[in-house]
Amino acid sequence: MAYKLNWRSDKISIVDVIEHLKADMINYTNNVFTVVKHRDDGGLHIAVYTEVHADGSSPYHRQITANYMGWRCCWFKCPHGTVTDMLEDNDESA
The reported pTM is 0.81
State the residue range of the domain holding 38: 2-93
Q: Measured between alpha carbons, how far is residue 12 from residues 3, 19, 69, 94 in Å?
A: 17, 11, 8, 27
Other beta carbons within 10 Å of 59 = 19
CA end-to-end span of the chain: 40
**How many structural domains is the chain composed of?**
1
Per-residue pLDDT tens digits for 16-75:
999 999 999 999 999 999 999 999 998 899 999 999 988 888 899 999 999 999 999 999
Q: How far apart are CA 22 and CA 8, in angstroms?
A: 21
Backbone phi and psi for residue 62, each to the nearest 5 degrees, phi listed first: -140, 150
